[in-house]
Structures are given as structure tokens and as C-alpha cells.
Structure 1
Amino acid sequence: MTEHPAAPSHPRPNTPVWDDEPWAALPTLQGDVSADVCVVGLGGSGLAAAAELLDHGLSVVGVDAGMVAGGAAGRNGGLLLAGTYDFYHDAVRKLGHAWASSVYRLTVEQVARMAAETPEAVRVTGSLRIADTPEEEADCRSQMQALQADGFAVEWYDGPEGRGLLFPDDAALQPLRRCRTLARRAVHRGARLYEHSPAIEIGHGEVVTPAGRVRCGAVIVAVDGRLDGLIPELRGRVRTARLQMLATAPTDEVRLPRPVYARWGYEYWQQLADGRIALGGFRDFGGEGEWTEEWEPSETMQARLEGFLRERIGVRAPVTHRWAASVGYTPSGLPVLEEVRPGVWAAGGYSGTGNVIGALCGRAMAQIAVTGSSALADILREPARVASV
């Protein structure tokens, strides 16, 4: 019988398994500072924006209400998947072939870019979409045919996890490590980043925090969950959901070489390099209770996750971590990416695709701040333009 290392009798309260390294906290903003651009939100998209701005020689101040990647950017499932909220064949049907193929290609390139930028946080393992029913298996085959017709890498898979699709270019991510790495690099390059400095006023040319003020030429708001609370103009267009996860002690009961998502993507899990299993899902079973800005784990959803861990994945290792995060969803599944006030650009509502789409949106907003335009933004926002005509 597999031996498991000693685990705490009670999992660490609302702490992601990714929080496994020491972090030297950044200062709180005190007093007035100035910069070319102020970035609000120091998660994956905000830090991608900061890096792009620094690449173009602009000065950057970044603020966050909590810690770097303290929200969903450092608390998600750690999957880097090409594509959008919709599976590829659905995106083609709903939004057009030209747009779907352009965005899919961007996301494939972005996954490769992230692997090259932070190899210490990314493992290019591929990923699996596993079908739970004959209907979903047929849908997988439709997805595969559409992708292969456009030259994208995908294979049929039949293995221990089940039947479905293998995407060889996808990757596994340690999301908190990546964000902290990007933050340290940005500070080393001259960016001034501040934690525990919530933006309480955002206007043209300035961002106000409880103890300071940033005067700037442009503002980039890169927040996913609770975006509509920060930018009231977006109320009704973005809705915040709670996503819940758990993780186990290291185990050799199973061997999962790549991340897996199943049941139309609602459940997702991966095995970390040290053998831990990280598992999330069942948001749709929570009903209205999971459409909340509350981000403490709930007993009901955690029990469902643990049942899946034991029965479906076949792991008996003790649970060491339980946590949740706030994520923004839009009715269309497409992200918000727009100028919400003069000189204030906002992105969010990634509908569960923030690791990749969020990074693209962050880069796009930075390009707009530098040049007034962005080819990335033009592609990402094209369906919204078409729908408004």
C-alpha cells in the first residue's frame, strides 16, 4: 500500500498549493509618485502589461489591493491551454473562421512565449480533454477535425485517463511562481510595484490609493474577478464566480504526465512534479451560490471535489490544501478589452482563460498605451466590433 508523508490534520486555510516558496513582500504605496503608465492589478495580465511597457522604455508604477498574484492569477488550476472559452469548432461556428483561427494561433504562440520567458514555472507537457459521455466523445472528434483542417496540433487519445484529445503544445504552469518571477524582473528593470495598495479612485491621469497617489499618462486596469466593482461601467457585462480547488500530499498512486480536463472542461486536474494532485471543478453544481465575490472554500463543493479525487482519479493521499479564487465571466465568453474612461484601459472577464488570454490582453493594453494602437487588441476585440454593427 502506498505510504503518504505526514499531512496536517487540517489543510492550510484558503492557501493554494502553489504558495510553496518564500516571498519578500513589496512595499505599500505612500505619498505621490509619477510614471508614464500606472498598472492596476499585479496578476498575470498586469505583469504582462508591465513587461511590455518596460520593453518600450516607458516608466511603470503598479499597484495591487493584495499581494502579487494574490487573486486568481496565483490561485488557478495551472493549465496553459491554447484557444478561447469556446472549443475551437464552437468558436468557428459562433464567431467566424477567420477570427477563431487567428486567436487560436495567438494563444499557441503565447503558450510558447510563456514557456520561454519562465521555464522555471512552465512544463510543456501537452494536455488532455477527456470525454465523459458518448455525446462529448463525438464533440471531441468534431473539435479535432476542425483543428486539423486548419493545421493545428491535436491527436486522438485513448489511455488510462479515458478517451478524448491530446494537445501536444499545451503546458502545465506553476502560476504563482511565474507571476512572482515576472514581478521581480519588473522591479529589477525599474518598475515600482506596490502591494496592499488598492485603487480607490481611477481617473484620467491618476490613480488614488489609501495612502498615495500615482500621476500618470495612462492607466491600465488588469483585474479579472470583481472587475465590475472596480469599474462600475462594466456592471452587467462581467459577473464574478468562485472557483474552488484542493491539493494532496505527494503520491505515486497515479502517474499523470500532463494536465487533464473533463466533462466539457468543468473538472481539471494535474500532477505536480513532486507528485501532488491539484484538482478543481464542479462550478456548475454550485448554482447561484458560486456566483459570488466570496472566495472562501465551501464545505459542499470541497466534499464533491474530494469525492471525485477518491472515486474518479483513484487517489487516497491526504488533502493538504483547499482554496478558492474569484474569476470574471462574460455572457459571450469573450474578454473585456476596452477604454472604459478617457485614458483608462481595462481588461478582464476572461471566463477561465486568464493564464493565456489574460497575458495577451495585458500586452495589447500596453501596446495601446505606447503607440495608440495594437494589432493584438484588434484581433481580440474583433467579434465585439462585429456584434455591435
Structure 2
Amino acid sequence: MNLLYANDRPGHYPASWYAASTAPLPPFAPLRGETRADVCVVGAGYTGLSAALHLAERGYDVVLLEAHRVGFGASGRNGGQLGSGQRLEQQGLERLVGREDAQKLWLLAQEAKSLTKALISKHAIDCHLTPGVAHACFSAREVRHEHEHVAHLREHYDYPHIEALDRERMQAICPSPKYVGGSLDMDAAHLHPLAYALGLARAAAAAGVRIHETSPVHGLIRGARNTVQTERGRVDAEHVVLACNGYLGTLDMKVAARVMPINNFIAATRPLSKAELDGVLRRDVAVADSKFVINYFRLSHDRRLLFGGGESYGYRFPRDIAALVRRPMVEIFPQLKDVEIDHAWGGTLGITMKRMPFFARLAPGVLSASGYSGHGVGTATHAGQLLAQAIAGQSEGFDTMARVPAPAFPGGAGFRTPLLALAMTWFALRDRLGL
């Protein structure tokens, strides 16, 4: 099944609150005929848009191909959380890659946040960037672990922006009866993800990037000059960047064996009253909790609760996404059991076995970065810059990311989906049983 079309109309954004609350850009024309470029970038999410922008600013002639619209995929549908660090906690990274590379990965993650904020400022992107992300825990054991994590970042990574929260201080932020403590990171932030993606696209186009929408890529012929083929045209380019994440399909089987597409879902309530808001979030920060099948939420600028949660193991979205998301939402906020949901949507992201992104040189002149595992707002933006630097011959950051172990999923690209469904079902059961 082609995930580009499994759940969406060709060339249309999903019926999300994000799409309803920001004006789209005028369409970019599809690619027709043959053209040449220094670099062809496939995929106009954060990775592709950032890579194209940074390459154009270095003087490269860049063609950017997108199967639907810019920001159509996970970049325009996600929870909008700009988190600190990598997807894997620093203690886990130290065990995986050693202290030296873990330190480098922390610094790269700090660069990712700074870059995202700088791009928003430089290009005047109106995406409601707001500081603060809290991590919420369900048990005393989880709280102890989170507080140890906070202490580790302060002591070993000189990171003063995160603080430990006991039950009282967590309740002062988020008064859900389920949460008993956690942490608050005020250097992390949240934003309107589609508005951010559209801002990157405007900047890329202004820098000279030739963007073509509704131009799905069907083939890549590798050689001295690589050829990227679409339905109606082709691009010959010295360099190719695959920035497709969960929508890669079969363009490269090495990536496909390591980056698994899964679906996630978000609902937006009607605008909440002041009293309702006070029972949900008492500070305008985003929240992600400690469940394996994570709940994440924040307030919109028009006073809605944007709540992400629920799991689905087929490639097709469920018919009633609102009902799927309402179940975990009501578990966290019982008082919202009858609140109206105005928008509900799904999206496809890419995950990896180690929950760290997969960076790779796939062939001479062909590079890829994907698999952000739900931590992509800053990481994918930064990946685009690292890809541009690598093409320009400055590859230290890219190579550090590429050294992170990236095992293939059991069964490879062909049999990974049923195995993942079994694993995710087990972890979801553990969440429900509180194990």
C-alpha cells in the first residue's frame, strides 16, 4: 500500500486544525519535463525544506520535489513540541555510543533548538512559538527516574533550564489527577507546526529553490549524475537528498528496513472557557507524559486543547479518529468527557529500533536523514542543515549522527509491520496495567 495516498486526497492537506487555522501558500507547479540541478531534494517536510534552504543560501541550484503540498506529512500534523536533547535520553545514549559521542549528540540537539528558533526569527515565521515543555509521570518510580534525569543534565551537561517537579508543582501546571510529578524545561518550546513548515517553504522559495508540488518520485537511478524520476518529468543532479521519513516507500530499501512508518492521532477541542482551561493547563506549556504510547498536549492560540494519543497498527486511519483520541484524553482529563471535538486527524511518522534518527550515505552523491521517532521539529530542521553541510564538504555533524547504531527491524522492510504491531500491543497493555 502506498502511504502517500492511503489516507489522504492527492494534493490536499488533511482536515486538521492546523490547516484550518493558517492560510496555505499558492500552489507550486508540478515538475514537467527534464531539468538539471546541483541538488535534488525529495520531500518537502522540515528536513527537505531546511536542506533546500541551507543549500540555496550556499549558492547551490536546488530542485525540491513534493508528492502533495509543502508540509503535507508529519511536519504539518505533529504535536508542535520543540524538545531538548535527542529522542533517547542522555543516559541511554551514553550506554549506546559512549560518553564522548553522547556529549556531541547533546550539543547537536542544542544546535537543533537554537537553529529552529533562529529560523523563525530570521524569516519572521508567525507560528506562535512559546517556551516550555513539561514531562509528566504517573508513578513515584517514574518520578524518581525523571528527577535523576534532570540531575544528570544539570551536573554532566551544564543544562540549567530544566527543573524537577513534585506532585504539588506538577498540579500547579497541569491539574490532572493522573500526574504525580515530572519536570519542566523552559528552553524547550511549542509551536504551530504547519505554519512553521509554510514559513520554511516561503524562505526556501525566496532563496531560489525551485519547488514542485504534486510531483511524486517513482524512481532513482544512481550514477555519475543521479536521475530522479517523477510522473511527468525527471531531474538530473550531482547530489540527491532523500527526506521522505514515513513516506519513503521503496525508494531505498536500506532506509526502509530501518525506518518504520506508523500512525499517530490528534484531536482539537472546541475553544475552552477560562474555567475549563484552569482544569487542564494553568500555564501555557506543552506536556508529554511517560506512557510508552505517549500522550502529548498543549493549548492552541485560540484556547483549544490539542491532544495527541491513541494507537493504530494498520496503515489506514480509523474511521472515527475523534473517538480514538477521546479515550486517552478523558483518562487524563475526566471532566472533558463530553466536550466537543472540532477537528481530529492522523499522520504518519517514521520510527527506528533505537528511537534515534537514521542518517546515511546511500551511494555516491545520495544522502538521507529520517526516522525522528516523534522528536522531529528541531531534529529534522537541523538534519536539513547537516545534510547541506555534508554536501558542501563539512560533514562532522552528519557523520556524528550517522555513527549512531541503526539496526534493521526484524523481518526487514517486508515483515516488520506485524512484528511492530505485536510489540506495540504489548507496550500499550503495559501502559493500561500501569506496569
Q: TM-score surpassing 0.5? A: yes
SS in 2 for 1:377: helix
Cross-structure match for 1:92: 94
Deviation at 1:29, TM superposition (A): 0.8
Deviation at 1:304, TM superposition (A): 4.3
CA distance in 1: counterparts of 2:162 and 2:195, whole angstroms: 28
Cross-structure match for 2:153: 147
Structure 2 residue 191 is matched with structure 1 residue 173: yes
Deviation at 1:93, TM superposition (A): 3.0
Identical-residue share of aligned pairs (%): 27
Cross-structure match for 1:71: 73
SS in 1 for 2:17: coil
TM normalised by structure 1 equals 0.88
Deviation at 1:311, TM superposition (A): 4.3
**Which structure 1 residue ranges, 4+ long, deviate > 6 Å from structure 2?**
none
Deviation at 1:36, TM superposition (A): 0.8
Contact 1:66 1:196 in 2 (8 A): yes
CA gap 1:302/1:98 in 2 versus in 1, 3 angstroms: farther
Match of 1:276 among 301, 304, 308: 304
Q: Which runs of 5+ in 2 are unaligned?
A: 1-12, 408-435
Cross-structure match for 1:369: 391
Deviation at 1:180, TM superposition (A): 0.7
Contact 1:220 1:366 in 2 (8 A): no
CA gap 1:41/1:385 in 2 versus in 1, 3 angstroms: closer
CA gap 1:235/1:275 in 2 versus in 1, 3 angstroms: same
Cross-structure match for 2:18: 18
Match of 1:310 among 330, 351, 355: 330
TM normalised by structure 2 equals 0.79
CA distance in 1: counterparts of 2:210 and 2:315, whole angstroms: 29
CA gap 1:129/1:64 in 2 versus in 1, 3 angstroms: same
Deviation at 1:66, TM superposition (A): 0.9
Structure 2 residue 157 is matched with structure 1 residue 156: no
Match of 1:123 among 115, 120, 129: 129
SS in 2 for 1:250: coil
Deviates more, 1:165-174 or 1:16-25: 16-25
Deviation at 1:94, TM superposition (A): 3.0
Contact 2:310 2:328 in 1 (8 A): no
SS in 1 for 2:110: helix
Structure 2 residue 348 is matched with structure 1 residue 326: yes
Deviation at 1:88, TM superposition (A): 2.6
CA gap 1:112/1:364 in 2 versus in 1, 3 angstroms: closer
SS in 2 for 1:159: helix
Cross-structure match for 1:109: 111
Deviation at 1:274, TM superposition (A): 1.2
Deviates more, 1:268-277 or 1:199-208: 199-208
Cross-structure match for 1:5: none
Structure 2 residue 277 is matched with structure 1 residue 254: yes
CA distance in 2: counterparts of 1:143 and 1:35, whole angstroms: 46
For 2:206, the aligned partner's letter is: H
Q: How many residues align?
A: 366
For 1:18, the aligned partner's letter is: Y
Contact 2:298 2:305 in 1 (8 A): yes
Contact 1:44 1:355 in 2 (8 A): yes
CA distance in 1: counterparts of 2:250 and 2:371, whole angstroms: 12
Match of 1:209 among 213, 226, 230: 230
CA distance in 1: counterparts of 2:347 and 2:395, whole angstroms: 30
CA distance in 2: counterparts of 1:64 and 1:148, whole angstroms: 41
Deviation at 1:302, TM superposition (A): 4.1
Contact 1:115 1:124 in 2 (8 A): no
Match of 1:134 among 140, 144, 161: 140
SS in 1 for 2:272: coil
Contact 1:227 1:349 in 2 (8 A): no
Cross-structure match for 1:7: none
CA distance in 1: counterparts of 2:14 and 2:203, whole angstroms: 27
- For residues 2-23 of structure 1, give each alpha carbon's deviation from its aligned partner in whole angstroms, at most 9, with x where no partner exists: xxxxxxxxxxx95221112222
SS in 2 for 1:334: coil
Deviation at 1:306, TM superposition (A): 0.8
- For residues 144-180 of structure 1, give each alpha carbon's deviation from its aligned partner in whole angstroms, at most 9, with x where no partner exists: 1211112112101223224110111001121111111
Contact 1:114 1:122 in 2 (8 A): no
CA distance in 2: counterparts of 1:143 and 1:93, whole angstroms: 14
Q: Which runs of 5+ in 1 are unaligned?
A: 1-12
CA distance in 2: counterparts of 1:61 and 1:14, whole angstroms: 25
SS in 2 for 1:270: strand
For 2:351, the aligned partner's letter is: Y
For 1:258, the aligned partner's letter is: V
Contact 2:269 2:305 in 1 (8 A): yes
Cross-structure match for 1:341: 363
Deviates more, 1:256-265 or 1:218-227: 256-265
Contact 2:30 2:212 in 1 (8 A): yes
